[in-house]
Chains A and B, each alone.
Chain A
Amino acid sequence: MNRITGRFVLLIATAAVLPLLLYGSVSVSKLTDGTEQSVSRGNQAVAQQIAAQIKLYFDDSHRVLASVANDLRGTQLEQWQQEAILRNHVLEFPEFREISVFDAGSRLRASSRLGTSTLKIPSGADTVNGAGLAYYVATPYIDADFLPTTTMAVPLVGASDERGWIIAEISLEELWRTVDRIKVGTKGYALLLDTQGNLVAHGNPNDKALIALNEAAAGEEKQLASDVRNKPVPPEARKFLSSRQEELLAVAAAIDNPGWTVIVEQPTSDAFRLSHQLETQLFAAIGLALLGTVILGWVWGRSFIQRIFALTRVTRAIADGRMDERVALSGQDEIRQLGDAFNSMADRLVELQEEIRKQERQAMFGRIAAGLVHDLSHPIQNIGNSCKLIQKMFEDVEYRETFKKTVERELVIIKRVLDDLRNIARPIPLERFPVDLNRTVADAAEAMEQHAETAGLTLRTELTPETLYIEGDVFALGRVYRNLILNAIQATAPGGLIVVASEAHADRVQVRIYDTGCGIPPERLGQIFEDFVTTKRRGLGLGLAISKKIVEQLGGTISVASEVGKGTTFVLDFPRTSARPMLVAGEQITPADVL
């Protein structure tokens, strides 16, 4: 993914999802807190309901026993009749295993048991009188079958001979059944603790064996039961780990009489399942939204950036000169408008380019024409003047000789101008052979000395004592030197200095033409070797272009350094050669021979 697209996606995702995440986090937090409170309250209500049922269970048992007491009191029933009443109650109320009646002296008066009664008045039963309770429930014990059992004691009131106790052995299986039926959620259950914190009933199928094993409740459960009974403000729901390392949410409710405690436990995974499901769904929705926005942003960003790319491609094409390239963008948005503007700009650019070319062609034509007029008018004028004089002085032999030289000289000039024009269009024919560089320079300087003198300038040569050979064409080299020295003469005010010097290096040689002239502005330095470019007011401006062409054809380079008002230095750099020149008629050909 490119960077702009990535940023675009990030922008959209951030703008869209951050608020969503914030909302989700707040919602989840609220949902979690609300669910926990709601579940705790619901379980608390269940625990209180169970506690009420257990209380009702004992109250009902008390009512049955009170009814028995009422049947027995003051009726002077015989023992078999009393036993019949007790047995009828045992038959009708299956929770009673045995009901026995004791007198005030704790002697057994009657029992539902066919055999010997095993019941006794439980210790602690006397506390009911002081506490104002209607009955007393003894601490449960494990019977011979390892099942929790308890006894209930109901005081008999009345005349002294009627006082005593009704004691009932109560099977807590019925009570256990009550606790066992409680299901909270899918995994929640209830358990019942007696006053000692021992388990009386356990609704968890996996923990029912704890009753048979006569196990006490877990420490956290006993603590919760103690707190709910003893603290003025009932404790809220507590969380702790079960023996199976499962986190439980536990609430408790106290029973007044007996002082037992109901605890409702529910695995938090079950209690908060709905909340967790909603959280999961919420996070899934946020995730989907994030994914959707990323995809959407990627698609949008990509379509956006593709059009930018198209614009970039066409811009580069225009820059490369492929002016006919145009961009075609879809849509009606600002990018499309930018593309249309770009195309309009390119069209206009082509038009402007054509105009510039036209203007340049016109300017060049004017410059060439002016240069030709400048360069040719003087020799033609001289020839014309000489022709007028020859008519008058035809008989003068000396003048005829002068006329001949004048016409020949001016024709040479005309021919040179025409050759320059021709050389611009075609390669300059060169004949390379070893030449003595110093000699070519000295010859050129000597040839131009008269011009310098005429211009009031000093032309000085500073040549190396060592003979320097290069592979060159003496005629072309002479032309280059002449051009450069002539330019120096024309650019230097009278009294100035022109130096033509040679330098030797390891495998190269250099020729420097230095003047103290007006110098060349920096902005024109880069163009002076181009065709038809001149610093002079008149002329074709082909001299330096042709000179550069000749030097490069000879394997050398030409460079210029100039400072306006101080002067200009041209440097010609050629590779040295180990070859030596051939003698032509015992003399070397010099540039002067061709100038």
Chain B
Amino acid sequence: MTLRIHLRPDAHFHDGTPVSAPAVVKILKQKIAKPQSIGFEAVRSIDTADDGSLLFRLSRPDGFLTSTLATTLIIDDDKPDVGTGPFRLVAEKENLAAVRNASYYRGAPDIERVEVIPYPTARATWVRLLRGEVDMALEINKDSVEFLEDTRFRKVSSIQPFYIPLVFNLRNPILARTEVRRAISDAIDRDEIKSKGMRDRGQVADDPVWPFHWAHNPQAPHHTPDPQGARERLDLARLPVQPAAAGRRASRFQLKCLFYNVDPQFERIGLLLQRQLAAVGIDLVLEGLDEKELVTRLGTGDFDSYLFQLTSGRDVSWAYRFWHSPKGAVGQVMQNTGYTGADAVLDRLRQAYREEDIRVAVGDLRQRFYEDVPAVFLAWPEITRAVDTRFDIGNPSDPDIFANLWRWHVASSQTASR
């Protein structure tokens, strides 16, 4: 099986050399050769068909390859500062900085220089925004959005391809039982999570498929809170409420949950989950960790469940990486929770490359996640970006205004440097 990719004839690297097939082949081979490389597992070889096109020879069909290619940086390891995008990275002491690529094939950006400054929290970001230290906040706190009313900043909100799940570790024998996970899912009121835990800035989730994916079918089944049904399921699972242990509430069982404690939102969501699960007799024990500790614990499998934010991406490849079990997976997967319930559908999804096949596979995947839940998919957070009105950002309904930074125009004469 082969895949032919045509290069744009007018694309150039930042050093002015044309983006030719031999150059791209060289770079892709560099990427594939790296141990951490993922997404190229089906590629047997890459050759230049001619100067303007590449020929991939595949061992089997791989529907994720195009998205892998779309997110692969075409940067030669020998020239790490030379890419093909609208902005060229420049060396900076502290922050990431990029300057305008005047020969960008889609047109030279209006903004001359972009500097990305990291801040620990979204609240800290908008404070810096108000203090005039930055021109754009990539994400501002949900509570702070309304404070930007009547200011010189334009707010652009969108549902980004990230979701917040309560992920189960199926190595826990109780959680290994499908009916228990389903009961937990039924006990959760996602709307309350969204309204009280997320200040109504988000969208209820049912599964890890981004709602704006072209194959997403809104007619698929949705989870609705059913505490009574959850209690009945747990009773049927022979998990009655046990007498309270010392210092704990009486419960059917105790469920430990790790959560990301840097962002107060996760603590609030955790407390809400704790209250909702307590209502069906489950004692959720919350343990806050920072990102490093959390990743370590997840890597060792030392958890019953965790509450964090995961990426879905704008395609379904990330669903494969998060929810396919390591066994039989093509390439590396992101986690191992012991869940194998969707492996077959995910494999089929990966091999699908025709539109209809992909639609069917996505539908089957969502149905599978509904029936055999690997996690309680809670919500898609709404991200609000804020931009100084000195910038004309074009159509604010773009999927991501930051991704279209090259299309912005500077409305005033001030130099955009932040």
- A-to-B contact residues, CB < 8 Å: 78-81, 84, 87-88, 90-92, 94, 97, 112, 114-115, 144-147, 171, 173, 176-177, 180, 205-206, 208-209, 211-213
- Are A91 and B271 in contact (CB-based, < 8 A)? yes
Contact B249 A81 (CB under 8 A): yes
Chain A residues with Cβ under 8 A from B143's Cβ?
171, 173
Can you offer 18 A-B residue contacts whose CB atoms are under 8 A? A79-B247, A84-B249, A112-B271, A114-B270, A114-B286, A114-B288, A115-B261, A145-B121, A146-B124, A147-B123, A205-B152, A208-B130, A209-B131, A209-B132, A211-B130, A212-B127, A212-B130, A212-B131
Docked complex Cα distance between A173 and B150 (Å): 17
User: In the docked arrangement, what's the CA distance between A211 and B131, Å?
Assistant: 9
Q: Does B92 contact A (CB under 8 A)?
A: no
Given A145-B124, A173-B144, A78:B275 Cβ within 8 A: no
| Cβ-defined contact, A91 with B268, below 8 A | yes
Cβ of B364 < 8 Å from any Cβ of A?
Answer: no
Further 5 A-B residue pairs, CB within 8 A, beyond A145-B127, A146-B131, A205-B149: A78-B247, A90-B268, A144-B121, A180-B147, A212-B128
Q: Contacts of B121 on A, CB cut-off 8 Å?
A: 144-145
Chain B residues numbered 251-277 whose CB sits less than 8 Å from any CB in chain A: 259, 261, 264, 267-268, 270-272, 274-275
Known: A84-B249, A115-B288, A205-B149. A147 touches B127 (CB 8 A): yes
Contact among A80, A88, A147, A208 for B151, CB-based, below 8 A:
A208
Q: Which residues of A contact B124 (CB under 8 A)?
A: 144-146
Contacts of B152 in A (CB 8 A): 205-206
Q: A81 to B283, alpha carbons, bound, how many Å?
A: 12
- Closest beta carbon of chain A to B405's beta carbon, Å: 24
Complexed CA–CA distance, A97 and B271 (Å) = 12
Chain B residues with CB below 8 A from A211, complex form: 130
Please report which residues of chain B, range 109-166, place their CB below 8 angstroms from some CB of chain A when the two chains form the complex. 120-121, 123-124, 127-128, 130-132, 143-144, 146-147, 149-152
Chain B nearest CB, measured from A367 CB (Å): 108
- Given A97-B264, A147-B123, A180-B146, A209 and B271 contact (CB-CB distance below 8 Å): no
Measured between beta carbons, the chain A residues less than 8 angstroms from B247 are: 78-80
| CB-based contact B123/A145 at 8 Å | yes
Chain A residue, CB-CB nearest to B272: A91
Which B residues contact A (CB, under 8 angstroms)?
A: 120-121, 123-124, 127-128, 130-132, 143-144, 146-147, 149-152, 196, 199, 247-249, 259, 261, 264, 267-268, 270-272, 274-275, 278, 286-288
Residues of B within 8 A of A92 (CB): 196
Interfacial chain B residues near A114, Cβ < 8 Å = 259, 261, 267, 270-271, 286-288
Beta-carbon nearest neighbor of A145 in chain B: B123
Q: In the assembled complex, which residues on chain B have CB atoms less than 8 Å from the CB atom of A79?
A: 247
Q: Which among A80, A88, A177, A209 is the interface contact of B130 at CB below 8 angstroms?
A: A209
**Chain A interface, DSSP helix/strand/loop, else mixed:** helix
Closest B residue to A97 by beta carbon equals B264
8 nearest interchain CB pairs? Answer: A145-B123, A205-B150, A209-B130, A146-B127, A212-B127, A205-B151, A212-B130, A145-B124
Give the nearest-CB partner of B259 in chain A: A114
Alpha-carbon distance A209/B278, docked complex (angstroms): 42
A115 to B267, CA, bound (A): 10
Residues B268 and A213 in contact, CB atoms below 8 Å apart: no
A94 contacts which chain B residues (CB < 8 A)? Answer: 196, 199
Decide: A180 and B149 in contact? CB cutoff 8 A: yes
Find chain A residues with CB under 8 A from B147 CB: 173, 176-177, 180, 208
Contacts of A213 in B (CB 8 A): 131
Residues of B within 8 A of A180 (CB): 146-147, 149
- Closest chain-B Cβ to A202's Cβ sits at a distance in Å of 10
Residues of chain A with a CB closer than 8 A to B248's CB: 80
Contacts of A146 in B (CB 8 A): 124, 127, 131
A188 to chain B, nearest CB (A): 12
Quote the shortest CB–CB distance from A98 to chain B (angstroms).
10
- Most interface-central of A78, A92, A209 (chain B CB within 10 A): A209
Known contacts A146-B127, A147-B123; A91/B196 CB under 8 A: yes
Contacts of A173 in B (CB 8 A): 143-144, 147
Among B123, B259, B261, the one with the most A-chain Cβ atoms within 10 Å of its Cβ is B123
Q: Note all chain B residues with C-beta closer than 8 A to A88.
A: 275
List chain B residues, Cβ under 8 A from A145: 121, 123-124, 127
- Please name the residue on chain B nearest to A86 by beta carbon: B271
Q: Which residues of A contact B196 (CB under 8 A)?
A: 91-92, 94
User: Which single residue of chain A is at the shortest CB-CB distance from B119?
Assistant: A145
User: What distance in Å separates the Cβ of A528 from its nearest Cβ neighbour in chain B?
Assistant: 102
Identify the closest chain A residue to B247 (Cβ): A80
Most chain A CB inside 10 Å of its own CB: which residue of B131, B151, B275, B278: B131
- Docked complex Cα distance between A94 and B196 (Å): 8
Cα distance, A145 to B259, chains bound together (Å):
21
- Is A91 a contact of B275 with CB atoms below 8 Å? yes
The interface residues of chain A lying within 8 Å CB-to-CB of B278 are 84
Residue from B149, B150, B247, B287 with most neighbouring chain A CB atoms (10 Å): B150
A176 neighbours in B (Cβ, 8 Å): 147
Residue among A87, A112, A145, A209 with max Cβ neighbours from chain B (10 Å): A145
A237 CA to B238 CA, complexed, in Å: 73
Task: Tell me, in angstroms, the Cα distance from A94 to B278 when the chains sit together.
Answer: 21
A316 to B120 alpha-carbon distance, docked (Å): 103
CB A221 to nearest CB in B, in angstroms, measures 19
In the complex, which residues of chain A have a beta carbon less than 8 angstroms from the beta carbon of B259?
114
Q: How far is the CB of B305 from chain A (nearest CB, A)?
A: 15
**A88: nearest residue on chain B (CB-CB)?**
B275
For the complex formed, measure the closest distance between the CB of B284 and the CB atoms of chain A, giving whole angstroms: 11
CB distance from A223 to the nearest CB of B (A): 26
Chain B residues whose CB sits within 8 angstroms of the CB of A206 once the complex forms: 151-152
Q: How far is the CB of A506 from chain B (nearest CB, A)?
A: 96
Q: Measured between C-beta atoms, what is the minimum distance from B358 to chain A in Å?
A: 41
The CB with the most chain B CB atoms within 10 A, among A91, A97, A115, is that of A91
Q: Given the complex of chains A and B, what is the CA–CA distance between A90 and B278 in angstroms?
A: 17
CB contacts (< 8 Å) of B274 on chain A: these are 87
| CB proximity of A100 to chain B, nearest CB, Å | 14
With CB as the reference atom, state the residue of chain B lying closest to A176. Answer: B147
Q: Which residues of chain A have C-beta atoms less than 8 A from B275's C-beta?
A: 84, 87-88, 91
Identify A80's interface contact among B120, B132, B249, B268, CB under 8 A.
B249
Contact of A90 among B128, B146, B150, B271 (CB under 8 A): B271
Distance, CA A48 to CA B86, complexed state (A): 55
Report the bound CA distance from A87 to B264 in whole Å.
13
| A79: min CB distance to chain B, Å | 7
Complex CA distance for A81 and B278, rounded to whole angstroms: 12
Contact (Cβ within 8 A) A177 B261: no
**Taking the nearest CB of chain A, how far is it from the CB of B139, in angstroms?**
13
User: A145 to B128, alpha carbons, bound, how many Å?
Assistant: 9
A176 to B143, CA, bound (A): 11
Chain A, residue nearest B199 (CB): A94
Q: How far is the CA of A208 from the CA of B144 in the complex (A)?
A: 12
- Chain A residues contacting B267 (CB-CB under 8 Å) are 114
Residues of A within 8 A of B131 (CB): 146, 209, 212-213
Residues of B near A90 (CB, < 8 A) are 268, 271
The smallest C-beta distance from B273 to any residue of chain A, in angstroms, reads 11
Whole-angstrom distance between the alpha carbons of A171 and B259 in the complex? 22
Chain B contacts for A97, CB-based, 8 A: 264
Distance, CA A84 to CA B121, complexed state (A): 27
- B123 cross-chain contacts in A, Cβ below 8 A: 145, 147
Residue on B with the closest CB to A208? B130
Q: A171 — which chain B residues lie within 8 A by C-beta?
A: 143
CA separation between A112 and B249, bound complex, in Å? 16
Question: How far, in whole Å, are A146 and B274 apart by their CA atoms in the complex?
Answer: 30
Within the complex, what minimum Cβ distance (angstroms) separates A73 from chain B?
A: 20
* Nearest Cβ on chain A to B231's Cβ, whole angstroms: 19
Q: How far is the CB of A111 from chain B (nearest CB, A)?
A: 12
Specify the chain A residue showing the minimal Cβ separation from B248.
A80
How far is it, in angstroms, between the C-alpha of A79 and the C-alpha of B249 when the chains are bound? 10
Alpha-carbon gap, A324 to B105, bound state (A): 100
Closest partner residue, chain B, to A113 (CB atom): B267
Query: Whole-angstrom distance between the alpha carbons of A142 and B150 in the complex?
Result: 23
